[in-house]
């Protein structure tokens, strides 16, 4: 009888563990949908009494940290070189399937809005990715948006990029407005662009 009782208790514990893990996974993954833009400053919104006060709004926002990458010619380029226009900053690699899936949308928007918005497609160069593999991928696909190479990991370290793709939306004044981790849809890309225009 005691053996049967122990087995029943063990099964109940196992069922409770599975149910608990399922609930925890569901709760934690709610914000992990890449098509949900993480809007910077939203967490502090309730602390402000006057939502229309620009200085309060700016206090909630974070300045986009500067970084150095290299253009196709090997020249140093800084994020700060692009202030004055909104910036779509995308971290990618040619071996990254989700990166490949969203790039046609980025290219479409670049062709449509490239005069109004800076598109900075930052390749995570190093390790699995080489300059040659990245350049060959861009050439093969016929993409014409500006590509920059993070050979020193300066940009990735500055933005704590730990998964690809990762996209940031920065307004013309240099404030981080939104972020998405993972491949985003054309609609989400447009939503982010609308937030910085």
In a shared domain, residues 162 and 187: yes
In a shared domain, residues 145 and 68: yes
Tell me what pLDDT residue 148 has: 98
Tell me what pLDDT residue 45 has: 44
CATH of the domain at 104: 3.40.30.10
In a shared domain, residues 162 and 70: yes
Instruction: Say which range, 20-29, 35-44, 73-82, 123-132, has the weakest mean pLDDT.
Output: 20-29
Q: Cα dist. 126→45, 55, 90, 94 in Å?
A: 39, 41, 17, 12
In a shared domain, residues 64 and 18: no
In a shared domain, residues 2 and 94: no
Residue 103 has pLDDT above 80, yes or no: yes
Residue 179 has pLDDT above 90, yes or no: yes
Tell me what pLDDT residue 145 has: 98
Q: Which residue has the tokens 């670049």?
A: 110
Looking only at the bridges linking them, the beta strands covering 87-92 and 118-123 are: parallel
Q: Cα dist. 73→59, 70, 128, 135 in Å?
A: 38, 8, 21, 11
Tell me what pLDDT residue 33 has: 54
Residue 54 has pLDDT above 80, yes or no: no
SS3 annotation, 130-194: CHHHHHHHHHHHCCCCCEEECCCCHHHHHCCCCCCCEEEEECCCCEEEEEEECCCCHHHHHHHHH
Contact between residue 176 and residue 170 where contact means Cβ atoms under 8 Å apart: yes
Domain that holds residue 6: 1-32
Quote helix, strand, coil % in the chain, to nearest 5: 45, 20, 35
- Looking at residues 169-193, what average pLDDT do you find? 97
Question: Would you put residue 162 in left (φ > 0), alpha (ψ -120 to 50) or beta?
Answer: alpha
In a shared domain, residues 65 and 132: yes
In a shared domain, residues 41 and 134: yes
Could you give the number of structural domains in the chain?
2
In a shared domain, residues 59 and 151: yes
pTM, to two decimals:
0.76
In a shared domain, residues 175 and 84: yes
- Looking at residues 45-65, what average pLDDT do you find? 58
Looking only at the bridges linking them, the beta strands covering 68-70 and 62-63 are: unpaired
pLDDT band (50, 70, 90) for residue 1: low
In a shared domain, residues 28 and 58: no
In a shared domain, residues 9 and 44: no
In a shared domain, residues 172 and 130: yes
Residue 27 has pLDDT above 90, yes or no: no
């Amino acid at each position: 009888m005691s053996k049967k009782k122990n087995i029943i208790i063990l099964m109940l514990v196992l069922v409770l563990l599975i149910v608990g893990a399922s609930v925890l996974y569901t709760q934690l993954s709610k914000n992990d949908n890449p098509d949900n833009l993480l809007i910077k400053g939203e967490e502090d919104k309730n602390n402000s009494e006057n939502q229309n006060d620009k200085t309060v709004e700016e206090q909630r926002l974070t300045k986009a940290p500067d970084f150095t990458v290299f253009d196709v010619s090997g020249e140093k380029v800084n994020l700060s070189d692009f202030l004055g226009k909104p910036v779509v900053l995308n971290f990618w690699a040619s071996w990254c399937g989700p990166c490949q899936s969203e790039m046609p949308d980025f290219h479409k928007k670049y062709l449509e809005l490239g005069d109004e918005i800076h598109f900075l497609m930052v390749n995570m160069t190093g390790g699995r990715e080489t300059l040659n593999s990245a350049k060959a991928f861009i050439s093969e696909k016929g993409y014409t948006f500006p590509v920059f190479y993070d050979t020193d990991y300066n940009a990735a370290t500055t933005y704590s990029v730990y998964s690809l793709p990762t996209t940031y939306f920065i307004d013309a004044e240099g404030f981080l407005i939104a972020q998405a981790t993972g491949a985003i849809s054309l609609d989400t890309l447009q939503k982010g662009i609308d937030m910085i225009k």
